Structure 1
Amino acid sequence: MRGICVWLITGGILWAFLTQTETIGFGQESSRPNVLLIISDDQAWKDYGFMGHAVIQTPHLDRLARESLVYTRGYVPDSLCRPSLATIITGLYPHQHGITGNDPKLPDPKVNPMAGRARPEFGRFYETLMRRIEAHPTLPRLLGEAGYISLQTGKWWEGAYTRGGFTEGMTHGDPKRGGRHGDAGLAIGRQGLEPIFDFILKAKEAGKPFFVWYAPMMPHAPHTPPEKYLKKYLRPDLSPAQSRYYAMCEWFDQTCGDLITFLEKEKLRDSTLIVYLADNGWIQDPDRPNQFAPRSKRSPYDGGIRTPIMLSWPGKISPLRDDKNLASSIDIAPTVLAACGLLVPSNLPGINLLDREAVQKRRSIFGEIYEHDVADVDHPTKSLSFRWIIQENWKLIVPADPRGKPELYDVVADPLETRDLAGTHPDLVKKLNEELDGWWSGKE
């Protein structure tokens, strides 16, 4: 029986210690795992029971956390879904894969970019962005070269699922039929998990290793949870908008539990590597349903870019909660490839999160925030709003506008980033800015 990598992508005390390659069994064909990627969509890093939320209940993810290597200081480079998802599947920063926004800005300002997808005269702008995913060795492409079959479900912005290298999928990507960010694939989770169950059973029967992309539009708006979840959060200290978002988090958690239960039922759990993260954060505006508050989605603050990252493979990875070291979604691709016994492309900037020595040696992670619409598809970094660096407990945010002022936070002592310390630590600001420029050097 082959193993499985399950990825869950959404937002201490050490439980145990993880040994490295000899524990995971890298390179052994018999231990090569299948891959199931689960990505939460628009969920804040603290909106889980295991992350200490006082109200939101996530029993299934809490259990997964107890069985996982958990990096509670996980991050995504950009706090917008499309570039973030592209980073997860390619292992590249947005300025490297070139997908820096959700939609192109069109030359006719009277046309909404979302409505312009089906207009032939604007086709080049959309196609230029979508072609970029074909230029990179995505995870399903690399795994396919090793004999994996793959399934796309949920959020997917890059046209038809085949453009990302999947062998099967739910998203057709045709703008004339409403294709934009997942189309038919957006039914997954909200309307059951049968496409994933059927695919896994087919792969199991064929004896083929598999990769599944489970990126449901959950807890993403519209916040329309079933009554059985909503009624648990209808309380006087929560606004109706908060109640609905909180209920969505639990509904999403239940779908994760259903996936794990299915793997257990099919005797696949022990051969499954589970990796969990969110594509970006979300802080619910208490007064506006389906709207995010400031300093969350699309911002450079932790409310937008921080997420727990979990990896679980029973008997292979010892449970560990790491509240100190930094992890990034650029690490997902090299981590999974290494766990599957495959070579990691030399151009990937991330590290293998199962290599504890490499994780502990890392001092800094980086990111870049862009506008929602790509100002110039031929020069994708023109939409840059901010760059950021986190080094140990310090986080520097640098606006792209030279008139803007850098912000400095101690995100360990001040995780909500309420105290800007740039004015009292000018030397540290200068040092971190130089490191950020060094990382960015030579970029467009």
Structure 2
Amino acid sequence: MNNKIFNLCIVFICINFVACNSIKSNDYKELERPNIVLILVDDLGWSDTSFMGNPVYETPNLDKLSNESVVFSNAYAPAANCAPSRACIMSGKNTPFHGIYTVGSSERGKSKNRKLIPTKNTVTLSDSIVTIAEALKKHGYTSASIGKWHLGEDPKTQGFNINVAGSHAGHPKSYFSPYKNKNIEDGTKGEYLTDRITNEAINFISANKEKPFFLYLPYFTVHTPLQGKQHLIEKYKSKIKNDQRFNPMYGAMVESMDDNVGKLLNSLKTLKIEENTIVIFMSDNGGLASVSTQFPLRAGKGSYYEGGIRVPCIIKWPKKIEKTKKTNAVISGLDIFPTLMDIVNDKNDYNLEGTSLLPLLTENKSVKERSLVWHFPIYLQGVNTKKDDARDSLFRTRPGSVIRKGKWKLHEYFENGELELYDLDTDIGERINLIEDNQEKAQELLDELNTWREARQAPVPKELNPDYSLLK
């Protein structure tokens, strides 16, 4: 009898041991699905934050974040303006795949100034395209898009459980309530939209802290209309005085954005989920040169010179990133999707065009050198002839493709086949065209561009525009 009791006790202990280990295993798996916060600021330039060296605009919270993270000095947006960049990030595919090249019509500027008939533009990301949110949903993530969507009327058709403020709109009617936005209720009169968006994001985090979540936080700021809090505007008026390189209204918006990023990060700490939350901070494209100079980079938003596509980028993940640093690794917004899939160990073939940054982040490995390509078969009109710092006074860019490989960057323009070649190691401002003395290198990059376009059936406009003034 005693032996039977003893055997039953042993069985009971074994069952409990297995059960406990099973719980621990499940808990461990839960920990291996980190919370994900992707902060995408609208039109924030590479040169617009103090952690990247701006001498005027104050971003103390981003400065602190940068000291706790991996900071990328060679980070690129997948496109030079809002909608195509966001479509690339969300889909992991470059512009020829989804056909979103700009906002609205591709026939920008005056017809008489356009030599070619531009490729037609797609304005909505197709629901058939798999997004980051849809891929993460298979791994048990609850997803929210809080802020500017710009790729359709509702991100909930593309994998997000929650949508706050997102629609096709590319900018707010007002940064102060009433917002006149159908997807966010107005707050008290004078409430500031950037504050409200952050509060909504914190509410989402608080409600989902016990399970893995994906928070996509695409702030409307610092996109126009330029509207800041009055006390900050006065502060920057005093700082800037008559220096035309800076804008006090813009400075106020940058600082408010920074205040809110700090508030969001503090909420992760307060809720005790900071350690297992990966935070990615990035801009969707370069800063608008007519508002804030992108020196030492050339041009700004809408241009495929460095000022239009090089952006600030920070990645923090306390649980996994042991060594914080500033790296010169060349990365793209296209790398976000594959990085997140690597993190959750998703082996599905989404045919993504970027590369996972996880080995760099967690093992301090280098990113394998690869070429980055931008394809823009349309026109984008100029804003300010003097401040645009563009190739000509009429357009921020004309139809063409651009490739960066190592230190070399080649621009090709479809209207006349002209090429520009720059050595970014010695000429980050793209002022000295080296095409004449480096024909072999230029041809190598041009051949690679042609191969890239052929593989993707990327459209190259060739039909002449009958309205073009020089044809008459």
Which band: TM-score by shorter chain? 0.7 to 0.9
Instruction: Give the residue type in structure 2 aligned to 1:227.
Output: Q
1:404 to 1:437, Cα distance in 2 relative to 1, 3 A = closer
TM-score (norm 1): 0.78
Match of 1:216 in 2: 219
Match of 2:44, SS state, is coil
CA contact (8 A) 1:78 1:367 kept: yes
Equivalent of 1:271, from 276, 282, 293?
276
Q: Given the alignment of the two structures, is residue 439 of structure 1 paired with residue 452 of structure 2, yes or no?
A: yes
Distance 1:149 1:192, change over 3 A: closer
Aligned equivalents of 1:100, 1:341: Cα separation in 2: 31
Check 1:151–1:389 CA distance in 2 against 1; reply closer, same or farther (3 A cut).
same
Q: Deviations over 1:381-422 (max 9, x none)?
A: xx9822111111111111122x14111111222212122212
The 1:370–1:262 alpha-carbon spacing in structure 2 relative to 1, beyond 3 Å, is farther
Give 1:29 shift. Answer: 3.7
> How far apart, CA to CA, are the structure 1 residues paired with 2:94 and 2:133?
18
Return the letter of the residue paired with 1:223. L
After TM superposition, the structure 1 stretch with the greater mean CA deviation from structure 2, 225-234 or 208-217, is 225-234
1:102 aligned onto 2:110? no
| Cα 1:79–1:183 shift into 2, 3 Å | farther
Equivalent of residue 144 in structure 2, options 128, 144, 151: 151
- So what's the TM-score if we normalise by structure 2? 0.74
Cα pair distance change 1:283/1:172, threshold 3 Å: closer
Give, in angstroms, the shift of residue 185 of structure 1.
5.6
Alignment length, in residue pairs? Answer: 381
Q: Distance in 1 between matches of 2:366 and 2:261?
A: 27
Give the one of 246, 249, 254 matched to 1:249: 254
Check 1:91–1:358 CA distance in 2 against 1; reply closer, same or farther (3 A cut).
farther
* 392, 417, 434: which one aligns with 1:421: 434
SS at match of 2:432: coil
Amino acid at match of 2:440: D
Contact 2:379 2:398 in 1 (8 A): no
Q: Quick check: 2:84–2:95 contact (8 Å CA) kept in 1?
A: yes
Tell me whether 1:306 sits opposite 2:310 in the alignment.
Answer: yes
d(CA) in 2 for partners of 1:172, 1:221 = 17
Q: CA RMSD in A?
A: 3.1
**Residue of structure 2 equivalent to 1:351:** 355
Picking from 383, 386, 393, the partner of 2:400 is 386
Shift of 1:190: 4.7
Task: Output the CA distance in 2 between the equivalents of 1:326 and 1:339.
Answer: 20
From 146, 154, 157, give the equivalent of 1:160.
154
Change (3 A) 1:96 1:183: farther
Q: Give the 3 Å change call, closer, same or farther, for CA 190–220 of structure 1 in structure 2.
A: farther
The structure that has the greater radius of gyration is 2
- 2:197–2:219 Cα contact (<8 Å) kept: no
Q: Map of 1:14-413 to 2, 5 A cutoff?
A: 28-104=29-105, 129-130=123-124, 132-157=125-150, 158-171=152-165, 173=167, 184=183, 188-204=193-209, 207-234=210-237, 235-239=240-244, 242-285=247-290, 295-343=299-347, 345-356=349-360, 359-371=366-378, 385-401=399-415, 403-413=416-426
Q: Distance in 1 between matches of 2:72 and 2:184?
A: 29
TM superposition shift of 1:240: 9.4
Sort the Cα spacing of 1:278 and 1:239 in 2 relative to 1 into closer, same or farther, 3 A: same
Q: 1:441 to 1:370 in 2, by over 3 A?
A: closer
The CA deviation at 1:423 is: 2.1
Deviations 1:208-260 (A, max 9, x none): 21111111111111111112322232132424972222222222111111110
Tell me, in whole angstroms, the C-alpha distance in 1 between the residues paired with 2:402 and 2:106: 24
Please tell me whether the aligned partners of residues 155 and 216 of structure 1 are also in contact (alpha carbons under 8 angstroms).
yes
Identity of aligned residues (%): 29
- For 1:115-160, what per-residue CA distance to the aligned partner results, in whole angstroms no more than 9, with x for missing partners? xxxxxxxxxx99x742x43111101111111111111111112111
* Alignment check: 8 A CA contact 1:60 1:257 kept: yes
Separation in 2 of the partners of 1:86 and 1:103? 14
Q: Distance in 1 between matches of 2:34 and 2:52?
A: 28
Structure-2 separation of matches of 1:172 and 1:278: 17
Task: Please state whether the residue corresponding to 1:324 is helix, strand or coil.
Answer: strand
SS of residue matched to 2:328: coil
Q: Hey, what's the Cα distance between the residues in 1 that align with 2:328 and 2:372?
A: 13
